[in-house]
Chain A
């Protein structure tokens, strides 16, 4: 999976940090433009309101400006900025009281089965196998043009428990690596994977409901196998 960091037209890491340290305003402005939308989306998933998310992004950039001289390069600049963002958003969420917990350690619900157990046979023969197979979906290229599908997907992500939402947003929507996400959220690789697993599985289940709706046309594959 590619990281979004390389596709934003910014100089490479070392050059980027050097330019910022030299006080290059054009580079700083380019950074603001390249990363702020992504930062806003991540902040929005943690704090209560869009206004609060905008403030979080602004506050983060001010903290970045203030701390740039002390940036040691132990993580990438982008990871460091997002870590400051998440911590800023968490303090703010506590103030806004959107969530009683702003920890990213998995809880019981994050270990729930990926697929509803009733989808599998409970008895022999074929115990543990699908009762009926998931129906193949249209290819991603076609789905990208299905605005309702895209809206359902966004909605499904939005409705996830906060821990899962943060991980799927950072990993899949914003393109951070698993290593980066562990640093940004301060979670272990195992816990990161637990949250990502459950998040993707929940979103898939919601999208399956969309395809299961009677008013939705069958996929070409399904139509072929049901003459």
Chain B
């Protein structure tokens, strides 16, 4: 059996996914997950949330307005003088 309760495990999820737990803690988390449907679903949901957030990066505003872009390139050119 594991010492972790579900309400404790959910607080370790980020450290776990970031590789921030020591070996003993990691083992505790993995043992708990192996036997707990609820926490396994929770961790999957967090992973899905991360994947969804990563996908948001794709659809941003387009590139800089042309005049701003041209102005910056000109500033770059002038900085060399």
Contacts and interface: CB of A to CB of B under 8 A. Distances in A.
B56 A65 contact: no
Contacts of A130: 6, 38-39
Contacts, number: 150
Contacts of B15: 193, 197
Contacts of B57: 4, 38, 41, 173-175
Interface in B1-60: 5-8, 10-11, 13-15, 18, 20, 37-39, 41-42, 44-57, 60
A224 interface: no
A114 interface: yes
Contacts of B37: 133
Interface residues of B, number: 46
Contacts of B38: 129-130, 132-134
Interface string B56-79: 110011111100110111011101
A37 B62 contact: yes
User: Contact size class for A?
Assistant: 35 or more
A213 to B, nearest CB: 16
Interface string A97-141: 000000000000000011101001000000111101111110110
A204 B45 contact: yes
Interface string A186-210: 0000000100110011011001100
A63 to B, nearest CB: 10
Interface of B: 5-8, 10-11, 13-15, 18, 20, 37-39, 41-42, 44-57, 60-65, 68-69, 71-73, 75-77, 79-80
Given A41-B60, A140-B47, A200-B46, 16 more contacts: A32-B63, A33-B69, A37-B62, A37-B63, A38-B60, A65-B76, A113-B7, A134-B42, A135-B41, A137-B45, A140-B48, A143-B48, A150-B56, A172-B53, A172-B54, A173-B54
